A and B are shown apart, each in its own frame.
Chain A
Amino acid sequence: MDIARKCPPVLTVIVILSLIAALSIRGLELDLSLLFSTDFLKQILSYFYDLYPPDLSGGFLREALVASVETLAISIMGTFFALIIAIVFTPFAIRAMSVGGGLSGERGIKSSLLRSAVVFISRMILNLLRSIPELIWAIIFILVVGLGPFAGVLALALHTGGVLGKLYADVLENVDPGPVESIAATGAGRMKIFFYGILPQALPQCLSYTLYRWEMNIRGAAILGFVGAGGIGLLFYKSISLFHTDRVLTLIIIVFIMVNLVDNLSLYLRKRLL
């Protein structure tokens, strides 16, 4: 049957994965017997049990709410600046649109070499931005602009800018060429082809990716405080380090609510876009 053929050799995959897992466990020198001891389970469960009841005192709640508004703000501004970074880089990362690209109609080896070089370099820069996690960017930016939410915004912006730039480039490169040609055939220039032929096809997908990254950035913004880059992370760090377990639960609840609000809002917007 056709369905069965699509399935890779399951047994082989399982064996290989087990081998990799065993190697990793040995490499990390994990003591797995610990995992199955009752002590271990008790320890974890008691830790979670101790979280209850949450600290709902007014002072702390107010502090936490202020911090979560700041977290939201950081995620929004971070995504917004990421959008700008991506918009600046994307045109250079696309073969057809880059310097001397197909849309400009220039042909010949020289322009094609130049184009390849520009595309390669832009893609490398996007990769670099993307490879470094936002937390590390945050530490770096604290050195530049000091402690506070601005460093967090810049950190999210750079990492997410790299991600979005790559995604946008991929989407724009894969639009249906038919409508693009029909616009070009009217004698329209590069800009007009882009706005009438390419962008309208790619826009919903690009916006959808952007919203999705915003969802991820609200989580990202929630941990930036660990290194002093603003948001609710600092409260988390303090509460956990100082064994204020009741506060940890409050914060978990707040983050849970906030993340879910953003997720649902963005899901709703994304559905409307497509």
Chain B
Amino acid sequence: MQKKVPSYPFVAHPQSRYDSTLKGLLILGALLILGGSYEISEIDISLLWSEEGASGARDFLFGLYPPEYSREFLSFVIKPTLNTLYIAILGTLLGVFIAIPLSLLATSSLMHRGIFASDKADTALKRLLRIAPFILARGLLNLFRSIPELIWALIFVRAVGLGPLAGVLALGVAYAGVLGKLYSEILDSVDPKPIEALHASGATKMKVVLYGYVPLALPDLTSYTLYRWECGIRAAVVLGFVGAGGIGQELELSMRMFDYHEVATLLIILCLLVGMADMISGWLRRRIV
């Protein structure tokens, strides 16, 4: 039974007209962008099951089997595999080293906001001096992060020559950017209450960082670092493609020689390596949190 339904002209839905217009515009914009991107990136799904495409895929897939498992090849790839692992480890460590000081400088609650900010009205110059390192650190981190590691690698290959060193440096610089930004975000979101308690007890800034920020943020910091190391293994493989050594270089060679059996073995090794890193870092992270 339908009763009389009162109408509410004034409180109905105040923002809904505006909302729906905006939504419509957003959807239209998104569709336009998608359509444009579709055109520009020359997508042609039919290629995937065209005669050529299918035969290319078939050649590759069937070529993979069986993976190359001769003792010769297997003992040969041990070293590149280890090298990839080493590059990932050293690159991540280097990244951490660069990231730590930069992220401290780039954390606003440590530099010019929150409890460390003084009440005193500063001169413009003093304020600038306090804020300059912050901006500089942010800019550097941003630059490091924006340029993909492979491009860093190409640059370092030119600067220091072919070999793993270029890979380590490239990974280090790129990951310094990523980790530094994450670190400063984590530090900024640390629970402020214990920090204030420490500060109120008269501890200096250094002590507040060491006894407050670091232990409070450490689980998150380590967990993200471990996660980046995991990504670092994949990245280290890719770096091999531009001559930074490791399993990526072998992969590139085998691909270029169309030796798909070797490619298969190398891909399997890659998956195992990534899976292993996944497990190790997962295990470590669970232990920390």
A and B in direct contact, judged by CB atoms within 8 A: yes
User: Which A residues are closer than 8 A to B by beta carbons?
Assistant: 3-4, 6-8, 17, 20-21, 23-25, 27-28, 30, 34, 40, 43-44, 47-48, 69-70, 72-74, 76-77, 80, 127-128, 130-133, 135-136, 139-140, 143-146, 148-150, 152-153, 219-220, 222-223, 226-227, 230, 233, 236-237, 240, 248, 252, 255-256, 259-260, 263
Most chain B beta-carbon neighbours within 10 Å: one of A24, A70, A259: A24
Q: What are the residues of chain A within 8 A of B154 when measuring CB–CB?
A: 236-237, 240
Q: A136 near B40 (CB under 8 angstroms)?
A: no
Which one of A17, A27, A28, A131 lies within 8 Å of B93 (CB-CB)? A17
Q: B215 near A135 (CB under 8 angstroms)?
A: no
Q: A47 near B159 (CB under 8 angstroms)?
A: yes
Q: Which of B64-117 contact A (CB under 8 A)?
A: 82-83, 85-87, 89-90, 93
Shortest B76–chain A CB gap in Å is 16
Q: What are the residues of chain B within 8 A of A146 when measuring CB–CB?
A: 47, 52
| Contact A135/B238 with A3-B216, A256-B146 known, Cβ cut-off 8 Å | yes
Tell yes or no: B128 within 8 A of A by CB.
no
Q: How far is it, in angstroms, between the C-alpha of A24 and the C-alpha of B92 when the chains are bound? A: 12
Q: How far is it, in angstroms, between the C-alpha of A69 and the C-alpha of B142 when the chains are bound? A: 21
Judged by DSSP, the binding face of A is helix
Shortest B155–chain A CB gap in Å is 7
Q: What are the residues of chain A within 8 A of B38 when measuring CB–CB?
A: 73, 77
Shortest A105–chain B CB gap in Å is 32
Q: How far is it, in angstroms, between the C-alpha of A139 and the C-alpha of B255 when the chains are bound? A: 8
User: Which B residues are closer than 8 A to A by beta carbons?
Assistant: 33-34, 36-44, 47-48, 52-53, 56-57, 59-60, 82-83, 85-87, 89-90, 93, 142-143, 145-148, 150-151, 154-155, 158-160, 164-165, 168, 194, 211-212, 214-216, 218-219, 234-235, 237-238, 241-242, 245, 251, 255, 267, 270-271, 274-275, 288
* Residue of A whose beta carbon sits closest to that of B213: A3
Q: B146 near A3 (CB under 8 angstroms)?
A: no
Shortest B116–chain A CB gap in Å is 18
Q: B82 near A27 (CB under 8 angstroms)?
A: yes
Q: A43 near B42 (CB under 8 angstroms)?
A: no
Q: A7 near B214 (CB under 8 angstroms)?
A: yes
Q: How far is it, in angstroms, between the C-alpha of A148 and the C-alpha of B53 when the chains are bound? A: 14
Q: What would 6 A/B residue contacts be, using CB atoms closer than 8 Å?
A: A3-B194, A127-B275, A143-B57, A148-B42, A149-B41, A150-B41
* Residue of B whose beta carbon sits closest to that of A20: B89
